[in-house]
Chains A and B, each alone.
Chain A
Amino acid sequence: MNGESFNRFLAFLKTVRLGWLIPFFLLVKGEDPRTQLRAIFAGVVVPILAILVFLTAWEISSKQIVTKFGTVPGPRQVWSAWESLMNEIRMEKIKEADHQRRAREKRMKNIEKYAGVFNELPGDKPDFGDTERNQKALSDLSKTFDEINEMLEVSNAISGVSSEQEAQAVVDQFQFESSKEIAAVLISQLLPKEISYRMREEELNMGERFNPIEGDTEELIASKESLKAKELKLIAAEKADLLIERQRLTSFATREAIDVLNSIPSFTKSILGKLDSTASKVGPRLDGWYASIEASEIATGQKYPNRVRVKMLKKSFEYKPYPGKDTYLNQIATSLKTVFFGFMIASLVAIPIGIVCGLNKTVNNAINPLIQIFKPVSPLAWLPIVMIVVGALYVSDDPMFEISFINSAITVALCSLWPTLVNTAVGVASTDKDFINVARVLKLSWVTKITKVVLPASLPLVFTGLRLSLGVGWMVLIAAEMLAQNPGLGKFVWDMFQNGSSETLSMIMVAVFTIGVIGFALDTVMLSLQQLVSFGEAI
């Protein structure tokens, strides 16, 4: 890399907020190590230390507060909640593949059962390839899924195990070697903790150390009670740790299962892929054929002998998507979609109005009071209005967007359009006078003046506005989704709050971090865009 492109690369790092990486590159390039190490200390070590201090303080203080859902989760519990969400996604992936497999098997069975019907199919007979090979591939796939399903059962099966004998029995009950191995690993890691927890709990309930027996003095009973209360807290912490451990091991099992799913040989995959692609072409032909059969039966009154068979065949070729539930990633995607949709509406409204305001003082004076009044209004106030108005206007039997999506998006738009509007107006109004003079001397048309001179000149400020707007939009979105029941992160938080389990708090905290990280990422993207369109001072 030559000097210039290296410098450009460093500048790029700075714009995408990776400036802290620069000293590492300079160090590798052989610049003065002392300066670079100092820069690394300031830019990397210090923030990491601060994060560690924060996590420690959190871990310690969280243990002190016991709510109705157990202790306030510490960082480890939140991480385990995150893992359980990721685990859910893996499970969904496996289930979807399983669903696909069943559909294929059913179709294959029907293809063989009603082979005769294909000979009557108008046009060429579809070529599904070598039947025997297809069958073999399907049965291989089936076997893989047996293995996967067994692996997924492992963590359930070992959850009640409390002794070595029971553990052995559980391991023996499994059919596949891989499952046995996983079970053994899980048991070896979980069993000692499980046993210790159980013993402690038994001691707490029965043991003389904590429970009064005959002949104890009142003083002793009192001290036993206080001891018991202390032990109860400790056991609660141990139970929380055990839960974390179980979660960790469950996700270990699903990860292994995913590995097995991914290890299906490419040969099998390609055979099945061919089968699928043929099926996707045959499906519509069968549909058409069946429709014409029905029509001719009505027209002629004569029954077509194979009608039911065609119907069965047609049914097995129908595409049925996996009716999975929304995973955490889907919820994030919904939130992002909502915020971008709202942000787009806001930009489409705010930028043109901002331009007009910036160009014309009278318009600006007219609109300014409205801007100032509507700017500070909370999304919670907008939402009911939006819901009622949208409910009245957006009536459709087959809506393109969910109504809750529209509600949240419009609320986001209403709250986030102001910074863009104000900044665009300021940017346009403060276009360098020299540029305006150029436009006047050249007698540029209004449109050319806007597109070639005014807009490019005010782009940096417009982008500052857009960046602020996106920030506001993202912040407002969660509240809007909560109330509008749009299936995104806001609804996730609301649902978690409503269903009140031991995981409630940690799940909500996961959502908090997710919202924070995504907000930061969005801001970084906008910041980079903003710096991309900045041309510096007027030349």
Chain B
Amino acid sequence: MSCFCDINGLGKTYPTPKGPAVIVKDFDLRIEEGEFICLIGHSGCGKSTVLSMLAGLNPITEGVIILGGKELAGPGPDRGVVFQSPSLLPWLTAYENVMLGAEQVYYTASKLERHQIVEYYLSVVGLADAMHKKPGELSQGMRQRVGIARAFALSPRMLLLDEPFGMLDSLTRYELQQVLIALWNRNSITAVMVTHDVDEALFLADRIVMMTNGPEAEVGDILRVRFPRPRDRKEVLEHPDYYPMREYLIEYLSERSHRRGQFKGEVDIHTQINVARGENVIELMGSRENQGNRVNLDRQGQQASGVISSARQVRPGI
């Protein structure tokens, strides 16, 4: 698969009275076409900042994002965004909210065609009966369905989801994950989703990008999820890899603290990496066959070894 989106050395610095605050630094990620990426990390680590830079809503201070061969500049309807709060315009009905975007994208289409597109997406997300209600009359879950429909109705090249289910109760969340994945299966749009729900990430993603704690957050580790698609929740839960992966993620989130290392270079399968005490992060960039393998770190000692076919960047501490 080709590289669809290349995020290179992305950084975000905010000027503050106490000097510049570096939120994100040297964030590198290559996303392939049709891939579903989940960004996971502690709250405040800069996941949403990365996403909003991808959406073009937040100016990039350092680095570059190349999308489909072009450098990204500003927001646009080629990237559908689902916000954490649905951000529907409360004075418009669900239908009108979706139509607002559709009118921008399909300006050459006839009125009827646009109507059909909007109606199609709203019914796919299960709102056929509530199409002409105002957001105020809809439940939180239904509003987010409208938000999803609005993003998909743009037929974007890339879908950006910023903790879209963060405000929902777990039952509604499961339902909406199902809705999202069903829509995604049909269209296979490249998607980047920010979440801090480990199960959600495992259920949806092809790769889970774990971010280090901010400030100066970057890519900490990448976990490849190889559950077969289309996925069924039960099958995923019963998969033998599920719990180890889940444990790994949780362990990552709860225990590890990360700092930037300075090592750059190719790594062999049995590369040994020196890691200073208490500093122990490695980003895996293995070949497809070996992706998902983990570097085993010796927490006590100062050495770590991993089973990696190749690595673009391995960053131990000094």
Binding site for B on A (CB under 8 A): 432, 434-435, 437-438, 440-444, 448, 452-453, 456-457, 459, 535-536, 538-539
Q: From residue A451, how far is it (CB to closest CB) to chain B in Å?
A: 11
Known: A453-B89, A538-B90, A539-B88. A440 touches B57 (CB 8 A): yes
Q: List B205-245 residues whose CB lies under 8 Å from chain A.
A: none
With a cutoff of 8 Å between Cβ atoms, the chain B residues found around residue A538 in the complex are: 85, 87, 90
Q: By the criterion CB–CB under 8 Å, are A535 and B136 in contact?
A: yes
Segment of B71-79, B246-254, B257-265, B293-301 in the binding face: B71-79
Known: A441-B75, A442-B104, A443-B104. A434 touches B90 (CB 8 A): no
A477 to B88, CA, bound (A): 42
Q: From residue A279, how far is it (CB to closest CB) to chain B in Å?
A: 53
With a cutoff of 8 Å between Cβ atoms, the chain B residues found around residue A438 in the complex are: 83, 87, 89
19 pairs of residues in contact across A and B, judged by CB atoms under 8 Å: A432-B87, A434-B87, A435-B89, A438-B89, A441-B75, A441-B76, A441-B77, A441-B79, A442-B101, A444-B104, A448-B100, A452-B89, A453-B89, A456-B89, A457-B89, A536-B90, A538-B85, A538-B87, A539-B90
Q: Which residue of B lies closest to A432 (CB)?
A: B87
A452 to B89, CA, bound (A): 9
Q: Which residue of A lies closest to B105 (CB)?
A: A442
Q: By the criterion CB–CB under 8 Å, are A444 and B143 in contact?
A: no
Q: By the criterion CB–CB under 8 Å, are A441 and B55 in contact?
A: yes
A453 to B104, CA, bound (A): 14
Given contacts A452-B89, A538-B85, 6 further A-B contacts (CB under 8 A): A432-B87, A434-B83, A442-B77, A456-B89, A459-B91, A539-B135
Dominant secondary structure at the A interface: helix
Q: By the criterion CB–CB under 8 Å, are A442 and B100 in contact?
A: yes
With a cutoff of 8 Å between Cβ atoms, the chain A residues found around residue B77 in the complex are: 441-443
Q: Which of B76, B83, B86, B91 contacts A443 (CB 8 A)?
A: B76
The answer to whether the Cβ of B161 comes within 8 Å of any Cβ in the partner chain is no
Q: Which of B57, B91, B143 contacts A437 (CB 8 A)?
A: B57
With a cutoff of 8 Å between Cβ atoms, the chain B residues found around residue A441 in the complex are: 55-57, 75-77, 79-81
Q: From residue B318, how far is it (CB to closest CB) to chain A in Å?
A: 40
A457 to B89, CA, bound (A): 8
With a cutoff of 8 Å between Cβ atoms, the chain A residues found around residue B154 in the complex are: 442
Q: By the criterion CB–CB under 8 Å, are A452 and B92 in contact?
A: yes
Q: From residue A260, how far is it (CB to closest CB) to chain B in Å?
A: 55
Q: By the criterion CB–CB under 8 Å, are A539 and B143 in contact?
A: yes
Q: Which residue of A lies closest to B135 (CB)?
A: A539
Q: From residue B255, how far is it (CB to closest CB) to chain A in Å?
A: 34
Q: Which residue of B lies closest to A455 (CB)?
A: B91
Interface core residue of B81, B87, B143 (most chain A CB under 10 Å): B87
Known: A441-B79, A441-B81, A442-B77. A539 touches B104 (CB 8 A): no
User: How many residues from B make CB contacts under 8 Å with A?
Assistant: 26
Q: From residue A141, how far is it (CB to closest CB) to chain B in Å?
A: 57
Q: Which of A443, A448, A459, A536 contacts B136 (CB 8 A)?
A: A536
Binding site for A on B (CB under 8 A): 55-57, 74-77, 79-81, 83, 85-92, 100-101, 104, 135-136, 143, 154
With a cutoff of 8 Å between Cβ atoms, the chain A residues found around residue B75 in the complex are: 437, 440-441, 443
Known: A437-B57, A440-B57, A440-B75. A535 touches B100 (CB 8 A): no
Q: By the criterion CB–CB under 8 Å, are A437 and B83 in contact?
A: yes
- 10 A-B pairs closest in CB distance: A434-B87, A535-B90, A456-B91, A440-B75, A539-B135, A442-B101, A441-B81, A539-B90, A441-B75, A442-B104
Interface core residue of A440, A442, A444, A452 (most chain B CB under 10 Å): A442
With a cutoff of 8 Å between Cβ atoms, the chain B residues found around residue A453 in the complex are: 89
With a cutoff of 8 Å between Cβ atoms, the chain B residues found around residue A443 in the complex are: 75-77, 104
Q: By the criterion CB–CB under 8 Å, are A452 and B87 in contact?
A: no
Q: From residue B46, how far is it (CB to closest CB) to chain A in Å?
A: 18
Q: From residue B303, how far is it (CB to closest CB) to chain A in Å?
A: 47
Q: From residue B55, how far is it (CB to closest CB) to chain A in Å?
A: 6
Q: From residue A8, how far is it (CB to closest CB) to chain B in Å?
A: 13
Q: From residue B206, how far is it (CB to closest CB) to chain A in Å?
A: 24
With a cutoff of 8 Å between Cβ atoms, the chain A residues found around residue B143 in the complex are: 539
Q: By the criterion CB–CB under 8 Å, are B88 and A535 in contact?
A: no
Q: Which of A432, A437, A452 contacts B81 (CB 8 A)?
A: A437
A457 to B88, CA, bound (A): 11
Interface core residue of A435, A438, A456, A535 (most chain B CB under 10 Å): A438
With a cutoff of 8 Å between Cβ atoms, the chain A residues found around residue B85 in the complex are: 434, 538-539
With a cutoff of 8 Å between Cβ atoms, the chain A residues found around residue B104 in the complex are: 442-444
Q: By the criterion CB–CB under 8 Å, are A444 and B57 in contact?
A: no
With a cutoff of 8 Å between Cβ atoms, the chain A residues found around residue B101 in the complex are: 442
Q: From residue B164, how far is it (CB to closest CB) to chain A in Å?
A: 13
Interface core residue of B74, B77, B91, B136 (most chain A CB under 10 Å): B91
Q: From residue A462, how far is it (CB to closest CB) to chain B in Å?
A: 13
With a cutoff of 8 Å between Cβ atoms, the chain B residues found around residue A444 in the complex are: 100, 104
Known: A435-B89, A437-B57, A535-B136. A452 touches B83 (CB 8 A): no
A272 to B89, CA, bound (A): 59
A539 to B140, CA, bound (A): 9
A453 to B97, CA, bound (A): 11
With a cutoff of 8 Å between Cβ atoms, the chain B residues found around residue A435 in the complex are: 87, 89
Known: A441-B55, A441-B75, A441-B77. A539 touches B100 (CB 8 A): no
Q: From residue A534, how far is it (CB to closest CB) to chain B in Å?
A: 10
Q: Which residue of A lies closest to B75 (CB)?
A: A440
With a cutoff of 8 Å between Cβ atoms, the chain A residues found around residue B83 in the complex are: 434, 437-438
A100 to B309, CA, bound (A): 107
Q: From residue A7, how far is it (CB to closest CB) to chain B in Å?
A: 15
Interface core residue of B83, B90, B101 (most chain A CB under 10 Å): B90
Q: From residue B72, how far is it (CB to closest CB) to chain A in Å?
A: 13
Known: A440-B75, A441-B77, A444-B100. A539 touches B86 (CB 8 A): yes
Q: From residue B193, how far is it (CB to closest CB) to chain A in Å?
A: 16
A116 to B88, CA, bound (A): 78
With a cutoff of 8 Å between Cβ atoms, the chain A residues found around residue B136 in the complex are: 535-536, 539
With a cutoff of 8 Å between Cβ atoms, the chain A residues found around residue B89 in the complex are: 435, 438, 452-453, 456-457
A435 to B77, CA, bound (A): 15
Q: From residue B147, how far is it (CB to closest CB) to chain A in Å?
A: 10
Q: From residue A1, how far is it (CB to closest CB) to chain B in Å?
A: 21
With a cutoff of 8 Å between Cβ atoms, the chain A residues found around residue B76 in the complex are: 441, 443
Q: From residue A372, how far is it (CB to closest CB) to chain B in Å?
A: 28
A536 to B135, CA, bound (A): 11
Interface core residue of A432, A435, A452, A457 (most chain B CB under 10 Å): A452
With a cutoff of 8 Å between Cβ atoms, the chain A residues found around residue B74 in the complex are: 440
Q: From residue B312, how far is it (CB to closest CB) to chain A in Å?
A: 32
Q: Which residue of B lies closest to A437 (CB)?
A: B57
A457 to B92, CA, bound (A): 11
With a cutoff of 8 Å between Cβ atoms, the chain B residues found around residue A440 in the complex are: 56-57, 74-75
Known: A437-B57, A441-B75, A441-B77. A535 touches B87 (CB 8 A): no
Q: From residue B51, how far is it (CB to closest CB) to chain A in Å?
A: 12
Interface core residue of B81, B89, B136, B154 (most chain A CB under 10 Å): B89
A442 to B107, CA, bound (A): 12
Q: From residue A354, how far is it (CB to closest CB) to chain B in Å?
A: 19
